[in-house]
């Protein structure tokens, strides 16, 4: 097991360097005069909200939420309020303190990599994940929460790295190695909500946070997942998505 983990760490590093190294880009933070006015309006509209975590009240977050709602201040404020409610309802302040020993070994997420800009990278390998097992054991909700923890961790790292001057970027990257992906283990009927709920959570709570998403070694059956999540994903996320196939078929 130890050797397998070491191999995956090295393999992940190679993936990160080769895939993300030449394609990273800086988030466009320039605003028109009209957009600056919208930003000021949103700041004023949410000035009395008690945000549960610092990143929610950062200007960068406001800009991303405005973009996600096509610069409609009322809708962006509503989206922020929904995120605040979601954070409280899901006890997100405790998510990194929870005991994940029942999950982390069987569903590993790797968040130690960075791209050429210093932006953090999250990596997963489907060969290490058995979603059907999670469903059979009644753990699929727990596994979804585990992945949301990964979202929040990598999102927080991107902001922390920028604050510490470790990166010129503002976003993060995600790589999924889809080798060994199978209908039995990964797209059983009970497994499908894993993909849809994560897509909704990402677009609703962390809009604009990702620079690039790579799905590598993807077999044709992975199209089932893409057909599920594509209608949920924003135009920006779809533009960030790169699906790289395999010649094994």
pTM here is: 0.88
pLDDT of residue 29: 86
* Chain length of the chain: 249
Domain layout of the chain by residue ranges = 2-25+93-245, 33-89
pLDDT tens per residue across span 188-227: 999 999 999 999 999 999 999 999 999 999 999 999 999 9
2-25+93-245 fold:
Phosphatidylinositol Transfer Protein Sec14p (3.40.525)
pLDDT tens per residue across span 61-116: 999 999 999 999 999 999 999 999 999 999 999 999 999 999 999 999 999 889 88
Distances in whole angstroms, Cα of residue 77 to Cα of each of 18, 61, 91, 170? 39, 11, 21, 22
Segment 232-245 shows an average pLDDT of 94
Query: What ranges in 46-137 are assigned the alpha helix state H?
Result: 59-68, 73-89, 131-136
Element (H, E) at 153: helix 140-163
pLDDT of residue 246: 64
**CATH code of the domain occupying 33-89:** 1.10.8
CA 47 – CA 39 distance, rounded (Å): 12
pLDDT tens per residue across span 109-132: 999 889 888 999 999 999 999 999
CA 90 – CA 77 distance, rounded (Å): 20
Taking 80 as the threshold, does the pLDDT of residue 229 lie above it?
yes
DSSP SS3 for 212:
strand
pLDDT tens per residue across span 3-43: 444 445 445 445 554 555 555 668 888 999 999 999 999 99
Element (H, E) at 122: strand 120-125
């Amino acid at each position: 097991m130890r050797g397998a983990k070491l191999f995956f760490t090295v393999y992940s590093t190679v993936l990160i360097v080769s895939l993300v190294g030449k394609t990273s880009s800086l988030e466009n933070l320039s605003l028109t005069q009209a957009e600056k006015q919208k930003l000021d309006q949103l700041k004023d509209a949410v000035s009395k909200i008690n945000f549960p975590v610092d990143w929610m009240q950062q200007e960068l977050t406001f800009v991303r939420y405005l973009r996600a709602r096509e610069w409609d201040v009322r809708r962006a404020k509503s989206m922020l309020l929904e995120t605040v409610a979601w954070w409280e309802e899901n006890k997100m302040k405790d998510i990194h303190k929870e005991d994940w020993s029942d999950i982390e070994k069987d569903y590993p997420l790797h968040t130690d990599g960075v791209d050429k800009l210093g932006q953090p990278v999250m990596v997963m390998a489907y060969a290490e994940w058995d979603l059907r097992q999670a469903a059979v054991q009644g753990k699929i909700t727990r596994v979804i929460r585990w992945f949301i923890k990964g979202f929040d961790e990598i999102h927080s790292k991107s902001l922390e790295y920028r604050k510490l001057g470790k990166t010129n970027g503002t976003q993060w990257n995600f790589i999924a190695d889809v080798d060994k992906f199978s209908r039995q283990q990964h797209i059983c009927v009970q497994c499908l909500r894993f993909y849809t709920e994560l897509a909704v959570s990402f677009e609703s709570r962390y809009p604009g946070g990702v620079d690039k998403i790579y799905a590598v070694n993807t077999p044709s059956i992975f199209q089932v997942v893409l057909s599920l999540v594509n209608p949920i994903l924003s135009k920006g996320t779809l533009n960030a998505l790169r699906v790289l196939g395999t010649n094994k078929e």
